[in-house]
Amino acid sequence: MSGLFAHVVWGDVAIATSETLVMLAASLLLTILSGVPLGVLLFLTDRGQLAERAWLNRLAGLVVNVLRSIPFVILLIVMIPVTLRIVGTSLGVAGAIPPLVVAAAPFYARLVEQALRDVPRTTIEAAQAMGATRWQIVTKALLPEALPGLVSGATVTAVALVSFTAMAGVVGAGGLGDLAIRYGYQRFQTDVMLVTVVLMVVLVQLIQYGGDQLARRLDHR
């Protein structure tokens, strides 16, 4: 076994794994906190919805589509000045989080919008008939009804963020991606590359399984 993984320093693997988990957790939390309001905005301002505003919907949609169309590696580089201003560095775990959020939040916002569209129209009409305000309709009817879809969307987003964290290793963000690039690719240490790939596959499987189970429990239909 030691010969098979001769180049693997397990202490470095443990550190890289913890860095990936920190990047994933922090960026996913911030993505949800920013993606949900943006998705709600896209839904509410669309044609025939509670706060129909064509110009605002088109503007929000344009911003979302532009950000989603930028390849993540390019976004990492373009955002370096912004990242420096926000966290003081463009390297390491902290330097990776702002571009991770900017890349993932528009993606999640579209999933939130779709989850809200899947809520039956009768749910909104029933809340309106009881005299609920727009805020109450969103917080007490729409979001609770859409919760399984929101969880499923967060799961898909988390899986995408795992691959984003790996790409962030290109600019020295740390984590398993950085380990794979510095040792597995640049030094031709295939065993290191294999270990990092296996760990990322396991991480994705755990995220997908956990998210699916939670979404099923929340779905009472």
Q: What is the pLDDT of residue 186?
A: 75
* Token output for 1: 């076994």
Predicted local confidence at residue 183, as pLDDT: 80
Q: What is the longest distance spanned by two Cα atoms in the chain?
A: 71
Using alpha carbons only, how large is the chain's radius of gyration in Å? 20
In this prediction, residue 219 carries a pLDDT of 80
Question: What is the DSSP secondary-structure string of 106-134?
Answer: HHHHHHHHHHHHTS-HHHHHHHHHTT--H
Q: At 65, list the tokens.
A: 């589509």
In the prediction, which pLDDT does 18 show? 94
Q: Selecting from 3.40.50.800, 1.10.260.40, 3.40.920.10, 1.10.3720.10, what CATH number does the domain 10-218 have? A: 1.10.3720.10
Give the pTM.
0.92
* DSSP assignment string, 27-91: HHHHHHHHHHHHHHHHHHTSTTSTT--HHHHHHHHHHHHHHHHS-HHHHHHHTHHHHHHHHS-SS
Does residue 221 register a pLDDT over 70?
no
d(CA 82, CA 73): 15
Burial classification of residue 85, based on how many CB atoms lie within 10 Å of its CB (0-12 exposed, 13-18 middle, 19 or more buried)? exposed
- Average pLDDT in the chain: 90
pLDDT, tens only, 102-151: 999 999 999 999 999 999 999 888 988 888 889 999 999 999 999 999 99
Backbone angles phi, psi at 120, to 5 degrees: -55, 140
Give the integer Cα–Cα distance in Å for 215 and 156: 12
Instruction: Measure the CA–CA gap between 54 and 129, rounded to whole angstroms.
Output: 25
Percentage of the chain exceeding pLDDT 70 = 98
User: What pLDDT, on a 0 to 100 scale, did the predictor assign at position 114?
Assistant: 96
Residue 219, SS3 per DSSP: coil
Residues 4-52: tens digit of each pLDDT = 777 778 888 999 999 999 999 999 999 999 999 999 999 999 998 888 8
